[in-house]
Structure 1
Amino acid sequence: MNEKYQKIINKIQDAKGIIIGASNGLSISEGVHIFANNKDFQTNFGDLSVKYGFHSIIEGCFYPFPSEPEKWAFFSRLYNYFLYNKQVSSVMKNLYELIKVKNYFVITSNIDDHFRQAGFAKERLFEIEGNCSNLQCSNSCHDQIYPGDEILSKMNQHQEDGKVPLDLIPCCPVCSGPMQVHVEVDRNFLRGQSWQESYQGYQNFIDNVQGDELVLLELGVGARNKLIKAPLMNLTILHEKATYITFNKGTELFIPDTISSKSIGIDGDISDILQQLVLMK
């Protein structure tokens, strides 16, 4: 196993570019599980679970709350759970330590904003499905994305009986309509200028490392994922000097025969794997 770890370290050190692809498995390794009805969920959302009948964070994200005060009670708690007074996890610290001096770009479907929190540069992030700390107009009447940290924190602190006071609920400064967290939970999700710039930054990064040693570092992406895994695998095929490296558990660790000769996979806990790599670095 040490030989495999050393090979990964060598590939990362020699790479002219690193693309990090991350999904739910990375969050789980941090102790954040949006699909689980676990102790954290019950502590932070238990009363809402009883009232509305959803049993995980992801179900809450898609729940059709009957009013704005109730909707914002959930989403401000979501922000609080992910970010407020939270220290950067050892998982994210180790990941950043591993690649911080490299030419990197991150593509992720995680909405917890933990990459930015850990020090990853905003201009090197493509958060495909948004993140929980930004706001947008629910009517998508204009392209602006707004930082929501202050108002989300305030709404979380002042809610009562599962509702946020009306005077704290944000309204669109353009159309005066309702706002929502910039997370892809419905058809209103805004793929405006900010989203398009992140997407273009990702595409430009790929173009700029054409012909160079490229590492595609995939963290906790499901075996059937089409949003991140399939494109990274395709890049592995297209780029002659690409190496596909994936960390996952059990059957979720999937490497097709078409790229097996250019791939390294480790079956295990991402937290433990990253810790070992940093110690050997």
Structure 2
Amino acid sequence: MKEKYSKVITKIQEADSIVIGASNGLSISEGIHIFADDSSFQENFGDFRKKHGFRSIIQGCFYPFPSQEEKWAFFSRMYEYFLINKEASPIMKNLYELVKDKNYFVVTSNIDAHFTLAGFPKERLFEIEGNCRNLQCSHGCHNQIYPGDEILSKMARNQENGKVLPSLIPKCPECGGSMQVHIEIDGNFLRDKSWQTMYQAYQEFIEKAHGKKIVLLELGVGARNQMIKAPFMNLTNLEECATYITFNKGGELYIPDVIAAKSIGIDGNIAEVLQQLVKLK
């Protein structure tokens, strides 16, 4: 295993460009499992579980709440769970330490906003499905997202019986209708100017890396998440000087034969893997 770690460090050090792709497996390694009915979910969302019957954060995101007061109680609590009084985890700090001096770009489907928490600059970060701290019009009446930290914090602190005060519920500044957290839970998800800008930045980063030494560093991306995995594998196949490096656990590690010679896979706890790599660096 040490030989594999050394090879990963060498590839990262030699790379002209690094593209980091991250999904739920990275969050799980931090202790946040949005798909699980675990002790953490029951401790933080047990009242919603009892009243509404859903069994995970992701089910709560898609749940048809009977009122705005209950909807915002859940989403503001989710925001609080992800971000309030939190520092960057050792895992995210180690990931940042690993690449901070390199030419890198991050693409992620995670909605917890933990990359910015760890110091990754926004101009190097494309959050495909949005994040938990921004708001948009529920009807998509206009193409703009809004920072929601202040109102989400206030709603998280002011809840009673699984509801927030009606006076705290945000309204769309244009149509006066309901708003929602800017995460992809329905067809109204806004790909606004900032989303388009970061999508473009991601594409341009890959274009500029063409023909050079590029590392595709994939963290906790499951087989079903093809919006990150498929482009990474295709790029590895197409680019002569590309290296595909994937960290995952629980049988989720998969490297197709066509790119096996240009790939490194480490099956194990992502937290431990990153810690070992930073030590070697």
TM range (shorter): over 0.9
Partner AA of 1:64 in structure 2: P
Alignment of 1:1-281 (within 5 A): 1-281=1-281
Name the CA distance, whole Å, in 1 between partners of 2:224 and 2:242: 21
Please give the root-mean-square deviation of Cα atoms over the aligned residues, in Å: 0.7
> Contact 1:136–1:144 (CA<8 Å) still a contact in 2?
yes
> In structure 1, what is the Cα distance between the partners aligned to 2:179 and 2:123?
25
Give the letter for the 1:62 counterpart. Answer: F
1:193-216 CA deviation, whole Å, 9 max, x = no partner? 111111101001001111110000
Which amino acid counterpart does residue 98 of structure 1 have in structure 2?
A: L
Deviation of the 1:250 alpha carbon: 3.6
Cα distance, 1:101 vs. partner?
Answer: 0.8
Amino acid at match of 1:123: E
Query: Aligned partners of 1:221, 1:83: CA distance in 2, in Å?
Result: 22
User: Residue type matched to 2:154 in 1?
Assistant: K
- Aligned equivalents of 1:190, 1:79: Cα separation in 2: 19
Q: The residue matched to 1:251 in structure 2 has which SS?
A: coil
Deviates more, 1:221-230 or 1:205-214: 221-230
Shift in Å, 1:39: 1.2
Q: Distance in 2 between matches of 1:143 and 1:11?
A: 41
Tell me how far apart the structure 1 counterparts of residues 251 and 223 of structure 2 sit (CA, whole Å): 7
TM-score normalised by the chain length of structure 2: 0.99
Q: Secondary structure at the match of 2:164?
A: coil
- After superposition, the C-alpha distances for 1:22-63 in whole angstroms (9 at most, x for unaligned) are 000000000100011111111111001110000000100000
Note the C-alpha offset of 1:169: 0.5
For residues 18 and 129 of structure 2, what CA distance do their matches in structure 1 show?
Answer: 21
Q: Is the 8 A contact 1:223 1:251 kept in 2?
A: no
- Distance in 1 separating the partners of 2:241 and 2:186: 39
Q: How many residues are paired up? A: 281
How many angstroms does 1:277 deviate by? 0.1
Cα deviation per residue 1:120-160 (whole Å; 9 max; x = unaligned)?
Answer: 01011111110000001111111211111111000000011
Letter of the structure 1 residue corresponding to residue 267 of structure 2: D
- The runs of 4+ residues in structure 1 deviating greater than 2 Å are none
What is the CA–CA distance in structure 1 between the aligned matches of 2:122 and 2:53, rounded to whole Å? 36
Q: Distance in 2 between matches of 1:69 and 1:188?
A: 20
C-alpha displacement at 1:225, in angstroms? 2.4
SS at 1:227 equivalent = helix
Q: Distance in 1 between matches of 2:227 and 2:80?
A: 27
- Describe the SS at the equivalent of 2:224: coil
Deviation at 1:223, TM superposition (A): 2.3
Percent identity (aligned): 70
The separation in 1 between residues aligned to 2:141 and 2:186, in whole angstroms, is 15
CA distance in 2, matches of 1:238, 1:278: 29
1:29 corresponds to which letter in structure 2? S
For 2:158 and 2:223, the matched residues in 1 are separated by 41
The CA distance in 1 between the partners of 2:79 and 2:192, in whole Å, is 22
Look up the SS of the partner of 2:188 in the other structure.
coil
Secondary structure in 2 matching 1:252: coil
Alpha-carbon distance in structure 2 between the residues aligned to 1:227 and 1:72: 29
- Aligned equivalents of 1:251 and 1:271: distance in 2? 17
Q: What is the rounded CA distance, in whole Å, between the counterparts of 1:186 and 1:14 in structure 2?
A: 41
Q: Secondary structure at the match of 1:258?
A: helix
Q: Contact 1:132 / 1:181 at 8 angstroms: preserved in 2?
A: yes
Q: TM-score, normalised by structure 1?
A: 0.99
